[in-house]
Amino acid sequence: MDDCPKDICAVTDSSTEGVPASQPPLDPNGTTQRSSEELVARAIAPVKREFLRPPPSSRTTQNNPASDTNVKQPQANVVQEKKSKRQLKRERRQEQNSPLNLCPEIAKTGDVNACSYKDKCRFSHDIEAFMAQKPADLEGDCPFIKADAPCPYGLACRFAGTHKDNAPIATSNLLKKSSEVNGLSKDVQKLLWKNKMRFTKADAVVKSLGLAGPNWKVKKLVDKEEDEVGLDGSHAADETNCKKVVDDSVDCSECPSTFPAVVNAEEACETDELRPLKKAKLLVDEKCSDEGEDATVLENDNEKNSAETELADNVLAEPDRSPKICNLKDATVLEKYNEKKSAETELADDVHAEPDKSLKIHPREKMLIDFREKLYLAPLTTVGNLPFRRVCKTLGADVTCGEMAMCTNLLQGQASEWALLRRHSSEDLFGVQICGAYPDTVARTVELIEKECTVDFIDINMGCPIDIVVDKGAGSFLLTKPLRMKGIIQAASGTVDKPITVKVRTGYFGGKNRIDSLIADIGSWGATAVTIHGRSRQQRYSKLADWDYIYQCARKAPSTLQVLGNGDIFSYLDWNNRKTDSPELSTCMIARGALIKPWLFTEIKEQRHWDISSQERLNILKEYVRFGLEHWGSDKKGVETTRHFVLEWLSYACRYIPVGLLDVIPQRLNWRPPSYYGRDDLETLMASDSAADWIRISEMLLGKVPDGFTFAPKHKSNAYDRAENG
């Protein structure tokens, strides 16, 4: 073909002389090896003969084993030295001291005296050294220069040459986040770090359901061994028993102060629990010891014993659940936060004075979201970030959901986990997805999200097949624990007024589906919608989704529970067939199909196959880059973060085969594309499964990669479907 490089199209094999290079090899009989029907039966994409590309020569591969110089090559015989934590910390400090790590305050204003930390600042204040080493500016305009608005990165921006000289000075990094919400405030983060956040609603609901976790277990242990309370008021329960109770629990923040010494950080991490009591625990120890010392001044032994016994009973019967204030600074933060929340409570009390607890809102009377006929973008790990969701919104998605966030990490105040909850103003119908193993952990998380975030619904993941999630008792492991599923859904729906939805798989083991027996109960437990992925946990993403079973579950579901199907939607025909085959389905969730071709939403709404050109696909990538720079920043770090996620997305997008190149349409999700030429050089480049070619595309969008740059996809090439959460 004219568009193919001459060095690639050249035919060197004498057995194919006279045959166009784009045709597949011939049998000895002179016929093609396989027909389109045979290729489809073998899950191989039936690309037209004139576009097929001869497989690479094994001789060439042996001579050039590492042709992709910018890609990490597997080194089976080389043992890479693992860096220690101390060495990594030293490297981070050296990077901070680099002139390229300019102080943000100085970068914004261009004034070396702008930093309030002066010599104590950990960043560089040398503007001349920074400008001498700063990489060249990228082509294009700064994404933050809109209506004379300042760029929050100032001198550090990779588009600084396009800044206006008379633009006002940026005073806050929040300027670049003006269209985003659901950020984690510093006050809330500090309270979460020190385990001082109040969860009154969640704790009350969990207690009323009899799912109080360690509280009722410890109380039961105390009652059983109450006769072993010593004269000094200490309990005789040994650390082994208490440790067993803690290991079986969920939240150690409300354990009675009788057992302060056995909860430590390692145990909490191993059992996927919340942060340990830390300083609050030590204060309880000091309080108990002080009370013991005060009791020793009693001269009468009988009075002493009775006083201490009464004190021990009070401690065991009603543990102190109020936050422990360790210092004046913590008290100020807590007071400030409580004032804010008390003002909101007073406003609510003015509207609903003296509410009758017997008139509690029934789950069916909560605000519901009508998912019917809406195009729902599934929560997708890594690639389903905020910029990608914005792209899908521009292409027709109606409902978006954030990436799966772990409840434990949210309750610990991890900023990286809270970033998964961020919402853009264009996401008019938005939910967050959380994953937890126990009712009290999930209940506290949904209460925290309702307080601090603006969301339309909260989705609970009970289908994630990843080992690290399942091993902690969350995700699809819950499919083996229906009573725990019940407790989690009831606790979450009883804590917040936001709609609670659930995402599940057909079952845990292949051939042992069980959601059909639970579908009616899921609605009565308080869920307003359930999404069923038509595979078991054991299947992961192999084989096709079992839509017949999804239809069966939809027919059994009560009228108050919306059922959404998920699995293998890759064209508007797939969407139409699923909706026609089962009118009971509210809608279908689109996951991996959107990763490979996000314009699938446009195809469904316009009811057509879009033979999109390579330039149109490049424009979508450019839009994603612009959204990424607005989200992650336009400085060096933001540019490289955007590049990383562009490459992650390209590792999926390369599986798309243009409609005009196929003998049979539409493309199926399980088809493996052969090596083929595109209709132009750019389309050929986008079809490559080589990371070196993905890097070339990223350089077209974000400039040349830094020296020593390497990239390896987060997923494995033979398991590309891992992006979807359940």
Token digits of residue 86: 């101390």
Helices 482-495 and 200-208, packing angle to 10 deg:
140
Q: Residue holding tokens 């969860």? A: 199
Helices 614-632 and 636-653, packing angle to 10 deg:
140
**Amino acid code (one letter) for 116:** S
Cis peptide before 20 (omega within 30 of 0): no
d(CA 189, CA 337): 11
d(CA 420, CA 464): 16
**Exposed, middle or buried, 663 (CB in 10 Å: 0-12/13-18/19+)?**
middle
Task: Write down the catalytic residue from 464, 553, 588, 654.
Answer: 464
d(CA 267, CA 246): 8
d(CA 230, CA 208): 32
- Contact status, residue 151 vs residue 142, Cβ threshold 8 Å: yes
Determine how many CB atoms are found less than 10 A away from the CB of residue 387. Answer: 22
Token digits of residue 149: 């608005």
- Contact status, residue 143 vs residue 116, Cβ threshold 8 Å: no
d(CA 687, CA 694): 10
d(CA 588, CA 576): 10
**Exposed, middle or buried, 300 (CB in 10 Å: 0-12/13-18/19+)?**
exposed
Token digits of residue 130: 């920074």
Phi, psi of 137 (to 5 degrees): -65, 150
d(CA 466, CA 404): 12
d(CA 635, CA 613): 31
Helices 572-581 and 547-556, packing angle to 10 deg:
40
Whole-angstrom CA distances from 101 to 97, 98, 104, 157 are 7, 5, 9, 12
Token digits of residue 432: 């967050």
Q: Residue holding tokens 């996000």? A: 598
d(CA 210, CA 621): 51
Q: Is 464 a catalytic residue?
A: yes
- What does 596-627 look like in DSSP terms, one character per residue? H-TTHHHHHHHTS-----HHHHHHHHHHHHHH
Within 13 Å, how many C-alpha atoms sit on residue 334's CB side?
A: 18
d(CA 464, CA 540): 9
395 Cβ contact list (under 8 Å, min separation 6): 598, 599, 601, 602, 620
**Amino acid code (one letter) for 450:** E
d(CA 502, CA 469): 16
Token digits of residue 173: 């990094």
d(CA 716, CA 407): 27
Tell me the Cα Rg of the chain.
Answer: 30
Q: Where are the extended beta strands (E) located within 635-716?
A: none
Determine how many CB atoms are found less than 10 A away from the CB of residue 220. Answer: 11
Q: Residue holding tokens 């001789």? A: 59
**Amino acid code (one letter) for 515:** I
User: What positions carry a catalytic annotation?
Assistant: 464
